[in-house]
Structure 1
Amino acid sequence: MTATDAREAGATTAPGTAPVARAGGAGLLDAVRQRLAASGAEPTPARVAAALRAQGRLLGDAEVLGAAEELRCELTGAGPLEPLLADPDVTDVLVSAPDRVWVDRGAGLERAPVVFADAAAVRRLAQRLAAVAGRRLDDARPWVDARLPDGTRMHAVLPPVAVGSTCLSLRVMRPRAFTLEELTAAGTVPPGGDRILRALIDARVSYLVSGGTGTGKTTLLAALLGLVGERERIVLAEDSAELRPDHPHVVRLEARPPNQEGAGLVTLRDLVRQALRMRPDRLVVGEVRGGE
């Protein structure tokens, strides 16, 4: 954690966190943040407690733990979006303005009770998340599509390309793949459709999964790959690693954008060429947008 990280964290806080910052005032949290930033230390409970003691405040264990969690969310997590991303039912978190945050829990978009301090706070969060993913997001490159270390898919667009405010989209990737039986029971696959899909896999024919954003393409494809025989080798070539099929033999390849010097680009077409030399029984390309 650097002093720049501390400044970019802004003053946003997550609802539901312990009331230490509110009880002690914003100045207390700022003082602790600046002390940790100056030392370069992670906001662990012990270090937060030491920083709080340095301010001459006496706080209980619950308040210290609350302060540590609040600082972690601001400086290393997703800030006020952290509770939403931690909700196991949430699949998407969308920010279109400081006071317009939406979530999808599988039944369509609904308004979330989260408000950022201002448009600058949304921009700072988007830029910090992009930096965590090793990507650049600034006026010269005003959009980014990246995968965070926990697997969350991130997309952000800065003004003036995004009119009014930074637009931030986060798609949560759950670690468990659904089975075809579960998709059929949930109504995702129509009655009898599972037999057709199983026959498609057994026949080893090539197929294309197509659909709109958020319609379940990745979920369905992961379920189909779970039907592949255990002795077959699956090679995944993805623009952003999202597929997590329940299969014992999966090789995952992920494309890479160029660095700030314009070098190091690895395209999906490059991955397909390499995958063909890796003895795949099944080669999966996602998402196909061009010459792949």
Structure 2
Amino acid sequence: MKLGDVPTELVDRVRDRLATGRGELTPQRVADALREEGRPVGDATVLAVHEALRRDVVGAGPLEPLLREPGVTDVLVNGPSQVYVDRGDGLEQTAITFADESAVRRLAQRLAASGGRRLDAATPYVDLRLRDGTRFHAVLAPVAAPGTVLSFRVPAVRSFNLAELQTSGFLSDIGAELLAGIVSCRLAFLISGGTGSGKTTLLRTLLATAPASERIVIVEDSAELRPEHPHVVSLEGRPANIEGAGEITVRQLVRQALRMRPDRLVVGEVRGAEVVDLLAALNTGHEGGCGTLHANSAEEVPARVEALALAAGLGREAAHSQLAAAVDAVVHLGRGRDGRRHLEAVAVPLPDDRGLVRMVPAATPQDGELVEGAAWQRLHALLRERS
């Protein structure tokens, strides 16, 4: 008997019987439960039911093979019958399905519990990092439709180097040289882009090119960067526990990082009030700092920073003034309709007559190569000054 041939109701009844007793999940206990159900106990049946239950209590269940597949960056579950995977070329639906909505819900609740988090009708959503580093997010039905929705962001097994990003088409030769120069000259920069555009991948690659003598202190909501560098210290935020206590915010960790003698302060993803502390740090001698930021284009980065800063109590004029003084360049990434990631622009923040920052392109891609923009000379002047 194959795994897919096992009746769901039989597996459920065996599960209920095993739950009333103690002991590990073993084929022998499954066989005993099947006998109590009055079912024929053949080796094939026992092994099929055992495997169905094992998948239900170990790892990510039927999703485990996808999460372990090389090249997979995301696994998405929309209810019991829709499972998608992203192997770097966009989403594609897989043949994997769950028996029913209850199976998806059980998996979500088990993974949440493994991270010490609550997931039920009172708290129908959760976001956490699993023990292997996978970022896990879930929203239970009926809040989510067409059923419980799961999202897995799979950490890269290894870092890419600039040459590999060039070979893949992510960067052109000129683009790779320009970004390497930004890092080696210790310019402060932000990497912007949408979800899945490769911000973390590129930042991880660039940090690996920093001199081995430098101390890199990374602050993240969920640890994902992990650059291949000999001196990296990572600080990770923590959500509140079930009682609502114990939260550690990224902003708090940025302040702690400044006391740890960083040669480079890195905020893995700027998404809240920590933007104020990061800009302040970059304005007080912490050269070479960097981070990532969600934005639709390089031109929209000032508005994004302004919105985050305003929420933290920093006024518009002050936010723009801090941004202009703190950040030397913005590297914007995009993702084409074919799902491939690429460098879209390198821009320089410049204040206008009102003191508000606008992003001026220094380099933009054309026919697979970077061409000079209006701020090209400005960026090269910065590189010469810091070299």
Change in CA separation of 1:27 and 1:159 when aligned onto 2, cut-off 3 Å: closer
| Aligned partners of 1:175 and 1:244 also within 8 Å | no
**Alpha-carbon distance between aligned partners in 1 of 2:147 and 2:68, rounded to the nearest angstrom:** 25
Match status 1:35 vs 2:18: yes
Are the equivalent residues in 2 in contact too, given 1:32–1:51 (CA < 8 A)? no
Q: Which moved more, 1:140-149 or 1:200-209?
A: 140-149
1:235–1:282 CA contact under 8 A, matched in 2: yes
| In the alignment, structure 1 residue 267 sits paired with structure 2 residue 243 | no
From 159, 166, 190, give the equivalent of 2:172.
Answer: 190
- Structure 1 equivalent of residue 319 of structure 2: none
Tell me the equivalent position of 1:15.
none
Residue pair 1:237, 1:268 contacting (<8 A) in 2 also: yes
Give, in whole Å, the separation in 1 of the partners of 2:245 and 2:208.
36
> Whose strand fraction is larger, Structure 1's or Structure 2's?
2
Cα distance, 1:213 vs. partner?
0.6
1:249 aligns to 2:243 (yes or no)? no
1:38 counterpart SS class:
coil
Superposition RMSD in Å: 2.6
- Say if 1:180 and 1:30 are closer, same or farther in 2 by CA, change over 3 A: farther
- Paired residues, number: 268
Query: What is the one-letter code of the residue matched to 2:132?
Result: D
Cα distance between partner residues in 2 of 1:120 and 1:71: 14
CA contact (8 A) 2:79 2:145 kept: no
Aligned mates of 1:225, 1:33 — CA distance in 2:
51
What CA deviation, in whole Å up to 9, does each residue of 1:142-172 have, x standing for no partner?
A: 2221111111111112234323422111111
**1:288 deviation in Å?**
0.6
| Counterpart residue identity of residue 29, structure 2 | A
Q: 1:59 aligns with which of 43, 48, 53?
A: 43
Per the alignment, do residues 173 and 188 of structure 1 end up closer, same or farther by CA in structure 2, a change over 3 Å counting? same
Alpha-carbon shift at residue 70 of structure 1 (Å): 4.0
Residue aligned with 2:192, SS: coil
2:270 counterpart SS class: coil
The code of the aligned residue for 1:131 comes to A
1:240 corresponds to: 222
What pairs with 1:85-124 in structure 2 (closer than 5 Å)?
Answer: 85-124=67-106
For residue 117 of structure 2, the aligned residue among 135, 155, 165 is 135
The SS at the match of 2:165 is: helix
1:10 aligns with none
Show the counterpart of 1:226.
Answer: 208
Q: What SS does structure 1 have at the residue aligned with 2:156? A: coil
User: How many Å separate the matches in 1 of 2:28 and 2:176?
Assistant: 58
* Aligned match of 1:210: 192
Instruction: Check whether the contact 1:119–1:166 (CA below 8 A) recurs between aligned residues.
Output: yes
Which has the higher mean CA deviation after the structures are superposed, 117-126 or 173-182?
Answer: 117-126
Normalised TM-score (structure 2): 0.63
Q: Report SS of the residue matched to 1:201.
A: helix
Give the structure-1-normalised TM-score.
0.82
Distance 2:205 2:15 in 1: 47
Greater CA drift, 238-247 or 79-88: 79-88
Which SS does the other structure have where 1:117 is aligned?
coil
2:96 partner amino acid: V
- Mark the runs of 5 or more structure 1 residues left unpaired by the alignment: 1-17
For residues 74-101 of structure 1, the C-alpha deviation after alignment (integer angstroms, 9 at most, x for no partner) is: 1122122122212213221111222111
- After TM superposition, give the deviation of residue 120 of structure 1 in Å: 2.7
Contact 1:36–1:51 (8 Å) recurs in 2 = no
CA contact (8 A) 1:102 1:109 kept: yes
> What is aligned with 1:50?
28
122-131 or 51-60: bigger deviation: 51-60
Q: Secondary structure at the match of 1:187?
A: coil
Q: 1:237-289: per-residue Cα shift (whole Å, max 9, x none)? A: 10011111101111111101111111101000010011111111111102111
Rounded Cα–Cα distance in structure 1 between residues aligned with 2:173 and 2:114: 43
Cα distance in 1, alignment partners of residues 211 and 95 from structure 2 = 45
Q: Distance between the aligned counterparts of 1:25 and 1:264, measured in 2?
A: 40
| CA drift at 1:174 | 2.4
